[in-house]
Structure 1
């Protein structure tokens, strides 16, 4: 699909657009690496806005099963803001998702646009990052390294914790991440993944029954990643903010979680404390 308005043209994103997309994210001070952009595009569908052959904006979306989706990496070059590019790109990704229940994480600047397109606020997201210095282990639950045999349980927990079908996303994440799980009576009851991202590593998703279990799943990475730059994006209801700050991961930004065409129906017994990324949710 191609649409044209004055000198701006929108078209599907290709892999050879990724260097320009990276430059856009750097212009707005987002930390994505080339590998992060490549991972996001290969999992989903993207569009770019061009002016005179130069990329001026991007937008990507991802199907999360037959009934849900997410979108993100909505970026407009600072020099091109105010021209309606963001709205046009949004229409393209929303057309891809159709009537799916769609989730995104909005900046304060982007929230009015998303509200005008039918999204409503359903929560907040808090970005924590810094040099990882987890507190000494408590007497609570202890995680163990995940194995290939744990993958079906990890995928099932990811689906239950978000109310979306995450099989394809988790399959790709597990290919680039290390994992840890909690067990009770021989059953996997929670998990966390850690992978390279941005300036260092990101821990997410973290899915667990309660905050104590989520802390155990985060703290388990302390030995391997103490002194490293680590990021987590946790939900406003996680209750982990103070503990993360004590672990060297200060809160540096807040986003508004928004949904359109309903809200994912999450499991009451397990939830996602830290997300995959602000785009993939």
Structure 2
């Protein structure tokens, strides 16, 4: 294991990491890597054994005090040989001194607890084609293309749901080709926000924020219409029971779960208005 070389991931490496994530059944969104790279260009690490990539991790820094671990994968051909733990240690070292979050799959949660992470809530991935519903909005609320909303308003709204500013990432996440993003406005104030992007097995919706369930339903159906009949998936947090009720009411089925875990106290976020997390890889 002494000859494992750990370095920042190249563009080609990011494509490989996406492929590995797809092989694990995580269904990363198309083009996500471009927003990920903008978030923290040095935050993606690849481990090579004799020149061959064998393991990866992302350790993305936000602001001065927060970091997020994702893409923690060792290739199946080398599992159990210690390469993955070397990437883990390198990623955690890069985030030393920060509050660190991650979304842990069920089989790894005990290992994360041993590394000092504590569960905060469960994200349930709901998937399917939404059944017809009542997408009507409350009086005075309209849905507009997110690109038409002054970015500072959108960024300020996102800060209610994330521990640190992430403006560069948010701009890329919303504006990449192939994505559809809507904002719910009432008298110019943001009361909801959602993005859908293409995925492999289902188009991914995230984030999904809303001031109430009617706005969330309207956003879900408007975003799902961009999928043109394909299945969609949403990672809904059980810390907001209304989110789970909305997904079940839309006819979506839970297919996958992770635990949001932190190394310290759970950040104070706007849980009642959080209907779908942005990304299991970057928070």
Instruction: Name the TM tier (shorter chain).
Output: 0.7 to 0.9
Q: Distance in 1 between matches of 2:224 and 2:11?
A: 36
Q: Distance in 2 between matches of 1:247 and 1:214?
A: 11
Say whether residues 1:169 and 2:178 are aligned partners: no
Report the CA distance shift for 1:28/1:149 in structure 2 as closer, same or farther (over 3 A). closer
The correspondence for 2:229, drawn from 227, 230, 244, is 227
Q: Is the 8 A contact 1:49 1:56 kept in 2?
A: yes
Residue-by-residue CA offset, 1:223-249 (whole Å, 9 max, x unaligned): 443512211111112323343234342
Q: TM-score, normalised by structure 2?
A: 0.86
- Once superposed, what is the RMSD of the aligned Cα atoms? 2.5
The alpha carbon displacement at 1:27 in A equals 3.6
Kindly tell me the number of residue pairs found equivalent between the two proteins.
276
Q: Distance in 1 between matches of 2:142 and 2:199?
A: 23
The alpha carbon displacement at 1:164 in A equals 2.4
The alpha carbon displacement at 1:79 in A equals 2.4
Q: Is the 8 A contact 2:208 2:216 kept in 1?
A: yes
- Name 2:16's counterpart in structure 1: 20
Secondary structure of the structure 2 residue equivalent to 1:112: helix
Q: Is the 8 A contact 1:150 1:188 kept in 2?
A: no
The alpha carbon displacement at 1:19 in A equals 4.4
Secondary structure of the structure 1 residue equivalent to 2:113: helix
The alpha carbon displacement at 1:217 in A equals 2.0
Q: Is the 8 A contact 1:131 1:226 kept in 2?
A: no
The alpha carbon displacement at 1:107 in A equals 0.6
- Name 1:160's counterpart in structure 2: 160
Q: Structure 2 unaligned runs (5+)?
A: none
Q: Is the 8 A contact 1:123 1:236 kept in 2?
A: yes
- Name 1:145's counterpart in structure 2: 144
Q: Where do 4+ consecutive residues of structure 1 move more than 6 Å?
A: none
Q: Distance in 2 between matches of 1:200 and 1:87?
A: 31
- Name 1:9's counterpart in structure 2: 5
Residue-by-residue CA offset, 1:179-212 (whole Å, 9 max, x unaligned): 2222233322221122223334211111222333
The alpha carbon displacement at 1:121 in A equals 0.6
- Please identify, of 40-49 and 51-60, the stretch whose mean Cα deviation from structure 2 is larger: 40-49
- Name 2:116's counterpart in structure 1: 118
- Name 2:131's counterpart in structure 1: 133
